[in-house]
Amino acid sequence: MLRTALLTLILMTPATAFANEVLIELTGKVEREYYGGKLCDLEFNLTNNSFGTLYRIYINVDGWDDRGEKFDELLSFSMDNSHGGWGGKTPVAKGTTQSFKGGSFKGSCKWLDKIKIGKLDNDDCNIRMMPEEVNCSDILKVLPGSTGLKID
């Protein structure tokens, strides 16, 4: 009886409960003025469903407009677990979601059409209890969310 109940519970549990993944979902494009020009920031939620607390993640991102021309960046554009790149990293506990803002593309958000996610080195990813044989890039998923951006 107990074995049947346990098997039923396992079969009815969603597959995502067993998934080891770090999910970045884009939640918005925020345009602001900057010395007579426009900057476009991306906001995103970072959900940690991996092995343990995520202490560091740093991903380079490039952007393209609707004509296929690459956006310039202010300093550099990245998605990470800091709030604007200053003041240190914010740990993201297993099973939780935190909101962050990425760097800034030079130009209007209305022309931003596609982003390309750079290579994620293991040096730029620190997750507690992550097995040696697992690469961070294998468990990272980036979704366009409500932004409508294409992701490459």
pLDDT attached to residue 10: 45
Q: What is the DSSP letter of 71?
A: P
Please compute the mean of the pLDDT values over residues 133-145 and round it to a whole number.
93
75: helix, strand or coil = coil
CA distance 105 to 93: 29
pLDDT attached to residue 3: 53
pLDDT attached to residue 96: 97
pLDDT at 80 over 90: no
pLDDT at 7 over 50: no
Q: What is the DSSP letter of 97?
A: E
Contact 16, 95 (CB under 8 A): no
**88 CB contacts (<8 Å, ≥6 apart)?**
82
Which bin fits 74, alpha (ψ -120 to 50), beta or left (φ > 0)?
Answer: beta
pTM of the predicted model, to two decimals?
Answer: 0.81
Tokens describing residue 148: 């409508």
How confident is the model over 16-65, as pLDDT tens digits?
445 799 999 999 999 999 888 999 999 999 999 999 999 999 998 999 99
Q: Which of 73, 79, 74, 147 is nearest to 113 (CA)?
A: 147
Which bin fits 135, alpha (ψ -120 to 50), beta or left (φ > 0)?
Answer: beta
Tokens describing residue 83: 């709030």
